[in-house]
Structure 1
Amino acid sequence: MELGNKRKFLLRKFFNEYLDLNRSKEDEQLTVDAIRSGVEFKGTNLWVLIFATFIASLGLNVNSTAVIIGAMLISPLMGPIMGVGLSIGLNDFELMKRSLKSYLVATLFSVTTATIYFSFTPLDEVQSELLARTSPTIYDVFIALVGGLAGIVALATKEKGNVIPGVAIATALMPPLCTAGFGIATGNLLYFLGAFYLYFINSVFISLATYIGVRVMHFQRKQFVDKAREKLVKRYIIWITIGTMCPAVYLTYNIVRETFYQSAANHFIAEELQFPDSQILSREISYDKREIKVVFVGKEVSKDQIAAAQHRLADYNLSKTNLVVFQGMGDGSAVDISNIKSMVMEDFYRNSEKRLKEQDEEINTLRKQLADFSGSDWMGKQLGQELKVLFPEIKTLSVSKSLRLSVDSSRIDTLTYAIIDCQRVPDSKSRDKIVKWLKAKTGDAHLQLIVE
């Protein structure tokens, strides 16, 4: 019992010393005022948002990550989203109304601005930065939740640092809105829905994280003189929260299921669809259709092998999945050529990158060997100064490496020769001293000294 109490005491001491948020907590009212000030989207804030949207749209259009990051740093979108979480934590219905209104205004202006830009831009090619914002994953949910927690903790403490800009970059609220605008401008409903889906999920989980942070740090709830009004406000807040969270929970559940499905399908392909003399050129996994499409090149895979693989789908929790295999291009099957090209280019890039890395390592090794062979890494001005002090009789020093062939054994050795030109011939003691010093400098125990 005493040991258990001691452990509890040590844990409590560790928590209070290292993890207690109240140690550097900012004045609560200052934190609330800081979040409130960022909620309104009028005048300057709205113009900054419009400019940030244009910058993000340009970055997505030209596929520039640096420009997109710059737009996320400029964007003031975090304000109303954190305001919603704060209002729920404080029972502040007026703040919630202002935050939701500003959130809708900001969303509308951002999507409209992006739509206008993409309607007139001459660059209409879909870039990878755009595609990355059309299909949210479970990782986006975790990033939004943890990023929101980091944001509220930073705002509530005195040492704010550069956390808020980092949260804005990590949670990436601006790019999905611009991608939604691209979807409207190009008439692609799937891009619009996918991007807006990602934006909504990020917003909800940042608000949730803000609410959690507010409650964990015990912010003072708003007090009402009229208890009936307090009950009504709480009811409104609860219903709005449920109305917001229900679709978010449902969407997140689908994201989790799709992530598990993708992982299981990739595991199945890696374990069951590897055949001798055949290579997978392309793969396409569709969670909605419950379908795995694979394109093979090389030796044809037999129907029995494909059937056996199809039968083993159930072992990977893919029992209702249909396996579609394409082999060759002459069977009239609908093969996604662009996907194949993408896979080929990806393999080419990966192999080229690997080869370049190997070549760089080989060049560095050869440079080191050349430096060792020529002695250029240790012969220099400093060596001459040492020689003047230690062996003033030496006028010049030449060091070179040579190959020696043993005729009887055909063995080839590398020998280091040091040739010195002296004012006078050194005696045996001086000669031994010179040889030892040169051996230490060159690192060659078999160095041969020649005196001219």
Structure 2
Amino acid sequence: MNNMFNFINLHNGEEGKNKVLENVTSNISFRGSNLWILACAIIIASVGLNVNSTAVIIGAMLISPLMGPIVGAGFALGTYDFTLLKKSFKNLLIATVVSLLVSALYFYISPFKDVQSELLARTSPNIYDVLIAFFGGLVGVIAITRVEKGNPIPGVAIATALMPPLCTAGFGLATFNFSFFVGAFYLYTINCFFICIATFLVVKYLKYPSSIVDNKYEKRIRYSITFLILIMIIPSSYLAYNLFQEKKFTKTAELFLQKEFEKNGYTLIYKKINYNATPKTIDVAFLNKKFTPEEIKLYNKLLADNGLFNTTINIRQNNSDLKSEILNEINKNNTNISEKDIALSNLRSELDKYKVSDSTLGKELQILFPDMSDVSYGKISEFAGTDSTRLQLFMVYSGKGINEPQLKRWLEKRLNEKNIELLKRPEIKE
């Protein structure tokens, strides 16, 4: 039993408590370089959200110093150090206001104000975001309290995702879309709060020294934390339930369309399922099938029989607006396809640099140099003692009596390559 406890004991490999508190306190303040790094990270995250680039957003999360005051607040709660708590909240407020102002200014100036998928992903927080923030914060504070910090810190910065929702809130302010602002800022608040709570729990578990001894204060803090947890969890749980209902409705609607239309041979060319409308709507259009008003009424009656309550199906026929919507979807798909084609083309051209694509070269070598065997050739990058690199063709072969200068001259002319290196395999003695 003791061995099992040693496996999960967080006191193993723990850094000295005074040193940890000193490091946490030093990372709280947003002055000088920290504020500049934060502003740059905000701009990078905003650009990433603007151009829908996940890689850029991840980069911004990695360099953001926002975790400092949040972890500081968790340590302050765990040790009942109200001076540290006040300092942490003050710096978090400064960081939040600066982030909102910089991101709002960027999106206000930016000519591209389309709502991308990366932006939309930060406007509807739910219970899963609570779990990510809590367990991400747990990993983060465990890593902070270790002697060897290891690799978790960058992963925590990515998982807890503090920058993107804050920048999305800035987008909401810049475009006067207050539903975006509220949703994104709520997600940011969830992340901050549950990272703080995870820190508080680990600090209490590791028994960091308390600044007060009055049990009344401790009880008040516990009650306040429990109350705030409920305030955070209840709306996010409702949003998660709503998301589940939306997914369930969409799946049921898809099955209905498949059963009633696609299995009967009707070609569906347009489909839009709107769960948030009142009543819920399913808009569809078909390639050549025309429905009578009586048929449309019948399909609307069948909706409830298939579990689609408070729902209307709209079959769109001879509608010029529909044509423009379909063309827009096609154009979006073509844009995505062209971007993929460019990426594939770039990859192919990069691979071609290293490839000797000549199917007859091996046969010609056998005729001109019959004693040669086990030939391998290809291009590799050679570092010429500087930051620049060059491609060099290497040929490795086996065989006796090979005239290497003659072979090299022939290869230079045959392949139009000047940078060729010949390597003879050593004979293996049995």
When normalised by structure 1's length, the TM-score is 0.66
Tell me if the contact between 1:262 and 1:285 (Cα under 8 Å) persists in the aligned partners.
no
The aligned runs of 1:205-220 (5 Å cut-off) are 205-216=194-205, 218-220=206-208
Q: Residues 323-345 of structure 1, C-alpha deviation per residue, up to 9 Å, x if partnerless?
A: 33333353x9x87965x556545
Q: Displacement of 1:268 after TM fit?
A: 0.4
Q: Is 1:306 matched up with 2:299? A: yes
- Say if 1:214 and 1:172 are closer, same or farther in 2 by CA, change over 3 A: same
- Report the counterpart of residue 241 of structure 2 in structure 1: 257
Q: Does 1:231 align with 2:220?
A: no
Q: 1:186 to 1:14 in 2, by over 3 A?
A: same
Give the distance between the partners of 1:342 and 1:28, measured in 2 at CA.
60
* CA root-mean-square deviation: 3.8
Displacement of 1:313 in angstroms is: 4.8
Contact 1:265/1:285, CA 8 A, preserved across alignment: no
C-alpha separation between the residues in 2 aligned to 1:379 and 1:26? 66
Q: CA deviation at 1:261?
A: 0.8
How many residues align? The count is: 353
Output the CA distance in 2 between the equivalents of 1:200 and 1:341: 40
In structure 1, the partner of 2:284 is 295
**C-alpha distance in structure 1 between counterparts of 2:189 and 2:322, whole Å:** 34
Partner of 2:386: none
AA at the equivalent of 1:311 = A
Corresponding position of 1:135? 124
1:99 is aligned to 88
1:16 aligns with 2:1: no
User: What residue identity is the alignment partner of 1:255?
Assistant: L
SS in 1 for 2:11: helix
Give how far 1:130 is off. Answer: 2.6
Give the direction of change, closer, same or farther, for the CA distance of 1:346–1:125 in structure 2 (3 Å limit): closer
1:18-41 Cα distance to aligned partner (Å, 9 max, x none): x44333222233223322222222
Query: Which among 13, 37, 42 is matched to residue 48 of structure 1?
Result: 37
The alignment partner of 2:31 has SS state of coil
Deviation, structure 1 residue 169: 1.9
> What is the TM-score when the length of structure 2 is the normalising length?
0.69
Q: CA deviation at 1:273?
A: 1.7
> Offset of 1:110 from its aligned partner?
0.9
Q: What amino acid maps onto 1:204 in structure 2?
A: F
1:201 paired to 2:201: no
Contact persistence 1:154–1:160 (CA under 8 A) = yes
1:245 aligns with 2:237: no
Of the structure 1 ranges 128-137 and 194-203, higher mean CA displacement relative to structure 2 is found in 128-137
C-alpha distance in structure 2 between counterparts of 1:120 and 1:78, whole Å: 28
1: CA distance between counterparts of 2:119 and 2:146? 36
Could you list the per-position Cα deviations for residues 141-161 of structure 1 after superposition, in whole angstroms to 9, with x for gaps in the alignment? 332222212211211223322
Instruction: List per-residue Cα deviations over 1:41-78 (Å, max 9, x = no partner).
Output: 23332232222222222332333333322222221111
Asked if the contact 2:139–2:156 (Cα under 8 Å) also holds between the matched residues in 1, the reply is: yes
In structure 2, the partner of 1:322 is 311
**What letter corresponds to residue 97 of structure 1 in structure 2?**
K
The equivalent position to 2:107 in structure 1, one of 118, 128, 145, is 118
Q: By how many angstroms is 1:122 displaced?
A: 3.3
Aligned-partner SS, 1:24: coil
**Runs of 5+ consecutive residues of structure 1 not aligned to the other structure:** 1-8, 357-370, 391-452
Give the whole-Å Cα distance in 1 for the aligned partners of 2:69 and 2:360: 64
Q: 1:121 to 1:322 in 2, by over 3 A?
A: same
> Given the superposition, is the C-alpha separation of residues 224 and 346 from structure 1 closer, same or farther in structure 2, using an over 3 Å criterion?
same
Aligned counterpart, 2:144: 155
> 2:71 matched to which residue of 1?
82
Stretches of structure 2 lacking an aligned partner (at least 5 in a row): 343-356, 374-430
Aligned to 1:279: 268
Comparing 284-293 and 202-211, the one that deviates more: 284-293
Secondary structure of 1:293's partner?
strand
- State how far apart, in whole Å, the 2-side matches of 1:196 and 1:27 are: 36
Q: Among all aligned residue pairs of Structure 1 and Structure 2, give the percentage whose two residues are the same amino acid.
A: 39
SS, match of residue 281 in structure 1: strand
For residue 351 of structure 1, report the CA deviation from its aligned partner.
8.6
Matched, 1:63 2:52: yes
Distance of 1:192 and 1:378 partners within structure 2 = 65
Partner residue in 1 for 2:18: 29
Deviations along 1:201-239, one digit per CA (max 9) or x if unpaired, are: 2222222322333344x23240435x3xx523652x345
* SS of structure 2 residue aligned to 1:284: strand
SS of 1:324's partner is strand
